[in-house]
Structures are given as structure tokens and as C-alpha cells.
């Protein structure tokens, strides 16, 4: 199938699912005029799940597979760079890019700071709306900066691309009307708030599951806003990923006696709102789930020294096994109970407030709702790529 056919299929799939935002019709036009393949390198990377490795897909050798990597589906990212076996850059899922641009409420003439240039695609979309010379983008990887600059120049987008660590923002051009990050943070850097004008907006992937849109207060001393949707992004570079489940499990820390787990593990596997609530309540706990042959499984760890497995086999009662200083299965049950006691809020019922010296997530009401501290976890690590 040719590139244009794949592209059209992806656009149609987004139409069927209602993923083109009605309030921002410019975004569909921008994506049509600036398709993602104009920013894709000649070598993409495909995740081979049976071998557990990324394998290269070269445009010259396999043009159709290359196109399939780019235009697979609305929720599929395209990995464009692999470093040490891990994805280090990607063209994010088209549906998420579109959703985040919609959350930004971008207007012509706005001055925009993007953190995480990557291929330059999102920067080009931002410039399509904001206008020439209105967007500056910061990328930590100098090699990516050169490639993005070349692609942006080729499509005629006037964007300033700079090498730097996005956590410092870019004070030289501040204040900005809009700040958008395309890598995930646990804590929103205060520099982003300081560099956004009062009333301006910051959109960023937050934590391991969602993206938030924050409005900077009129006095500039805080920024606050709601979770806008799902978004699983690669984490900010330079953060230690912490230990994974296998490493912690095999460290041989004392185990606790197996016990019944009296919650529905199938639900844990399927319900993104539940997963989001657990992630807010237990910020450093990683949860991976699977369901097969009538059974359901969950693997938990805290990136440091505690682990748990939850297992439900067909016709059996669910069992929790756990080890290490924390009892993660019990912690999970308590957080699950709390979510139910709150009436099972959606992820859209949560929000985030950022102040100079503290940040917290809240549910339903920033002032009066329940709160959870943010960024106190042992690890600042995301295991999925967008
Ligand atoms: C998902 S990709 C970006 C996608 C990009 N916006 C595009 O349209 O191709 C995330 C990017 O963030 C960059 N990045 C990660 N941490 C960063 C940091 N602290 N400062 C600047 N860039 C960072 C990565 O190198 C990577 O290129």
C-alpha cells in the first residue's frame, strides 16, 4: 500500500473515532499539509515483541514497511531513534499529538516554547498556527536538532531550534503565551511556569499516563489545571530508570506469605481510569497487567526494593505474592478502596497544581478536593513510549 493511502486511512480512522477536535479545525488542516513522513528519518525502528528488541526498518530497503511504521494507527507511535536498546526519540501517536495541540488553545501570533523537538514535526504544526518566527523549540540531543532543523527548513517552517535541557525552559525568549512539552515529567519544572505569562497555558505529559493543561495564575505564583487525556510519553532524558521488576524480584529480599487478593484483576487490566487513580495515589509504583486464557495478571514494583504479583487463573481465587519492605498489594488495595469511596472518578476529574516549592494532584476541586503530593517518588521513570 502506498504512503498516501496509509495516510488517508489513518485520517479516516481518526474521523471514525472522533479524534479530530471540532473546536480546533486548523489541526486537521495542519496535519494534512505537514504529514509526519516529511519529518521521519530514513531508518525507523520496529519493536519485535517475540525477541524483545527494536529492529531497523529502512525506507530504501522496505518502503512499504517503513510507511506502515509511520501510519499504523492513531494510537501508535513511530520510534525514530534507539539508544542502548531503548527508544530515545519518536514521532508521537498522531491522535495524542492532535489532542495535546487542541489542549494548548493556540492562537495565531502566540509566542510558543516547545520542549523536546525530536523530529520537528510538532514544532512545524505549532508554527502552522502561531506563524513564522513565533515558535522556539529546545532539544537535548544535538544530532536530533540538526535533523529537525533540516526538515523544518525543507517545509518552510520558521522555527528556532536550540540544543538544551528543557527543564530550564528558555529564559531568553520569555514570557511565552504557550509552553508545550513532548516528553513526560513527574514534576513540572518551575522554570516553565516562570517563563509563561499570567493567563498563559502549559501543556505537558504528566506521570506515566496522561497529559495536563495548566493555566498560569494572574500573580504568576502558581499554575493549575485539569488532566486532558491519555498520553504515554518517553521520560525526560537523564533520569535514572530505577530497577525493573525482574531485578527487584531476583534480589532475594524477604517475601511475605501469599494471600488472597479480593479485587478484580481483569478490571485492573482494562480500566484506564482506575489505573490513573492508582498512579496518582502511588506515584512511584509501576503496574503492568496482562489477560490471557481466562486469567489476569499484574506485576507491581516500586523501582527500588519492593515487588508484588497478582494472579487470577481461570476458576481460582486471585492471589497476591509480594516481597521487600513495602507490601505493594495492600497499598494497591487501599488506594483502590479510596478511589471507590470517591465514587470512581474519571481521569478527567483529576488535576494538578504547581507552586514554587510544592506540587499536588487533586480530584474534582483544586481547593477543596482530596490531594496527593507529586514528585516525591523514588523514581521518575516511564516505561512506555509515545
Ligand atoms: C516523543 S519525542 C518528541 C517528539 C517531537 N515533538 C516530534 O514531533 O517529533 C521526545 C523528545 O524529547 C527529547 N527530550 C527528552 N528529555 C529532554 C529534555 N530534558 N530536554 C530537551 N529535550 C528532551 C528527546 O530527546 C526526544 O527527542
pLDDT (0 to 100) of residue 183: 96
* Residue nearest atom 5 in ligand 1 by C-alpha distance: 118
Going by C-alpha positions, the residue among 313, 297, 306, 353 that lies closest to residue 331 is: 306
Ligand 1: residue whose CA is nearest its atom 11: 116
Cα 188 to middle of ligand 1, angstroms: 15
Residues 6+ apart with CB under 8 A from 373: 358, 359, 360
User: Is residue 122 lining ligand 1, measured as CB closer than 6 Å?
Assistant: yes
Concerning whether 92 is annotated as a catalytic residue, the answer is yes
CATH numbers and ranges of domains, the chain: 2-230 (3.40.50.150), 245-341 (3.30.160)
Q: Is 298 in the pocket of ligand 1 (CB under 6 A)?
A: no
d(CA 61, CA 38): 18
User: Strand, helix or coil at 172?
Assistant: helix
CA distance 268 to 273: 9
Rounded to 5 degrees, φ, ψ at 152 are -65, -40
Residues 6+ apart with CB under 8 A from 147: 41, 119, 120
Rounded to the nearest angstrom, the distance between the alpha carbon of 208 and the centre of ligand 1 is 15
Which of the 8 DSSP states describes residue 185?
Answer: B
Beta strand pairing call for 112-115 and 176-181: parallel
pLDDT of residue 336: 97
Q: 45 by DSSP, 3-state: which?
A: strand
Q: In the prediction, which pLDDT does 6 show?
A: 96
CB 167 less than 6 A from any atom of ligand 1: yes
- Is the CB of 96 inside a 6 Å radius of any atom of ligand 1? no
Establish whether residue 236 lines the binding site of ligand 1, counting it when its CB lies within 6 angstroms of any ligand atom.
yes
Rounded distance, CA 382 to CA 218, Å?
Answer: 32
Distance 12 CA to ligand 1 centre (A): 28
Pocket flag, ligand 1, residue 124 (CB < 6 Å): no
Please report the atom of ligand 1 found closest to the CA of residue 234.
1
Mutate which of 140, 146, 235, 385 for ligand 1? The one with the most ligand atoms within 8 Å of its CB, which is 140
Q: What is residue 325's predicted lDDT score, i.e. its pLDDT?
A: 94
CB-side exposure of 368: number of CA atoms within 13 Å? 0
- 369 C-beta neighbours (distance < 10 Å), count: 15
* Distance from residue 68's CA to the centre of ligand 1 (Å): 23
- Atom of ligand 1 minimally distant from the CA of 77: 1
345 Cα: distance to centroid of ligand 1 (angstroms): 31
Question: What is residue 385's predicted lDDT score, i.e. its pLDDT?
Answer: 32
Q: What is the pLDDT of residue 1?
A: 67
Q: What atom of ligand 1 comes closest to residue 125's alpha carbon? A: 8
Q: Which residues contact 340 (CB under 8 A, 6 or more apart)?
A: none
204 C-alpha vs ligand 1 centroid, how far in Å? Answer: 12
Per-residue pLDDT of the chain (386 residues; tens, 9 = 90+): 689 999 999 999 999 999 999 999 999 999 999 999 999 999 999 999 999 999 999 999 999 999 999 999 999 999 999 999 999 999 999 999 999 999 999 999 999 999 999 999 999 999 999 999 999 999 999 999 999 999 999 999 999 999 999 999 999 999 999 999 999 999 999 999 999 999 999 999 997 789 999 999 999 999 999 999 988 888 888 777 778 888 998 888 888 889 999 899 999 999 999 999 999 999 999 999 999 888 999 999 999 999 999 999 877 789 999 999 999 999 999 999 999 999 999 999 999 999 999 999 999 999 999 999 997 543 333 333 33
Q: CA-to-CA distance for 321 and 261, rounded, in angstroms?
A: 9
Q: What confidence score (pLDDT) does residue 207 get?
A: 78
| Residue of 90, 92, 137, 386 marked catalytic | 92
Task: Using alpha carbons, select from 205, 201, 182 the residue that is nearest to residue 193.
Answer: 201
Ligand 1 in reach of 81 Cβ (< 6 A): no
Amino acid at each position: 500500500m502506498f504512503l498516501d493511502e496509509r495516510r488517508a486511512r489513518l485520517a479516516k480512522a481518526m474521523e471514525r473515532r472522533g479524534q479530530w477536535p471540532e473546536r480546533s479545525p486548523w489541526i486537521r488542516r495542519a496535519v494534512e499539509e505537514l504529514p509526519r513522513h516529511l519529518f521521519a528519518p530514513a531508518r525507523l525502528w520496529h519493536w519485535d515483541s517475540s525477541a524483545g528488541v527494536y529492529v531497523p526498518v529502512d525506507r530504501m530497503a522496505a518502503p512499504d514497511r517503513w510507511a506502515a511504521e509511520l501510519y499504523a494507527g492513531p494510537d501508535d507511535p513511530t520510534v525514530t531513534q534507539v539508544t542502548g536498546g531503548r527508544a530515545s526519540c519518536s514521532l508521537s501517536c498522531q491522535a495524542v499529538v492532535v489532542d495535546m495541540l487542541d489542549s494548548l488553545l493556540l492562537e495565531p501570533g502566540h509566542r510558543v516554547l516547545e520542549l523536546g523537538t525530536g523530529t520537528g514535526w510538532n514544532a512545524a504544526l505549532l508554527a502552522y498556527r502561531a506563524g513564522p518566527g513565533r515558535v522556539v523549540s529546545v532539544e537535548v540531543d544535538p544530532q536530533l536538532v540538526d535533523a529537525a532543523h533540516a526538515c523544518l527548513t525543507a517545509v518552510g517552517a520558521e522555527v528556532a531550534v536550540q540544543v538544551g535541557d528543557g527543564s530550564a525552559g528558555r529564559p531568553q525568549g520569555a514570557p511565552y503565551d504557550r509552553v508545550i512539552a513532548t516528553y513526560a515529567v513527574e514534576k513540572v519544572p518551575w522554570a516553565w511556569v516562570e517563563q509563561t505569562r499570567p493567563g498563559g497555558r502549559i501543556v505537558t505529559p504528566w506521570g506515566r499516563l496522561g497529559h495536563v493543561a495548566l493555566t498560569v495564575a494572574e500573580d504568576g505564583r502558581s499554575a493549575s489545571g485539569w488532566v486532558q487525556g491519555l498520553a504515554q510519553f518517553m521520560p525526560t532524558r537523564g533520569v535514572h530508570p530505577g530497577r525493573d521488576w525482574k531485578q527487584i524480584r531476583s534480589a532475594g529480599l524477604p517475601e511475605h506469605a501469599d494471600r488472597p487478593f479480593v479485587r478484580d484483576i481483569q478490571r485492573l487490566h482494562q480500566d484506564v481510569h482506575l489505573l490513573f487513580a492508582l498512579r496518582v495515589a502511588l506515584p512511584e509504583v509501576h503496574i503492568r497487567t496482562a489477560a490471557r486464557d481466562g486469567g489476569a495478571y499484574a506485576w507491581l514494583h516500586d523501582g527500588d526494593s519492593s515487588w508484588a504479583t497478582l494472579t487470577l487463573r481461570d476458576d481460582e481465587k486471585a492471589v497476591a505474592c509480594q516481597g521487600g519492605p513495602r507490601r505493594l498489594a495492600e497499598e494497591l488495595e487501599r488506594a483502590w478502596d479510596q478511589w471507590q469511596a470517591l465514587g470512581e472518578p474519571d481521569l478527567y476529574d483529576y488535576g494538578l497544581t504547581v507552586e514554587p516549592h510544592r506540587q499536588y494532584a487533586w480530584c474534582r476541586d483544586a481547593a477543596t478536593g482530596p490531594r496527593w503530593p507529586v514528585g516525591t517518588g523514588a523514581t521518575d521513570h516511564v516505561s512506555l513510549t509515545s
